[in-house]
Amino acid sequence: MSTSFGGAYGDYEWEITGRTLRVIARGRGVLKEFGPVFVTTDEQAQYAAQGRIDLNREELEALRRGQSPASGDP
């Protein structure tokens, strides 16, 4: 059975299907996929998505603007 969650955070929409988090920019589509994500409730999914977005904000912003993320950054 595949678990699915979704929501919005800041300028991004997100969805978790199975163990994969997809971060989506309105008008641009999927920016990046992260995994594995282990959640079983809506609240866990929201916190997991927000945390990944916050930790990867610079890269996601560059992707949203259509630029390559800076290389060398972890």
Which residues lie below 8 Å from residue 67, measured CB to CB, with a gap of 6+? none
Cα–Cα distance, 46 to 66 (Å, whole number):
26
25-41 per-position pLDDT tens digit? 988 899 999 999 999 99
The answer to whether the CB of 8 falls within 8 A of the CB of 15 is no
The answer to whether the CB of 64 falls within 8 A of the CB of 28 is yes
What pTM was estimated for this model as a whole?
Answer: 0.84
The answer to whether the CB of 11 falls within 8 A of the CB of 25 is yes
- How do the domains of the chain map onto residue ranges? 37-65
Give the residue ranges of the chain where pLDDT is below 50. 72-74
The answer to whether the CB of 65 falls within 8 A of the CB of 72 is no
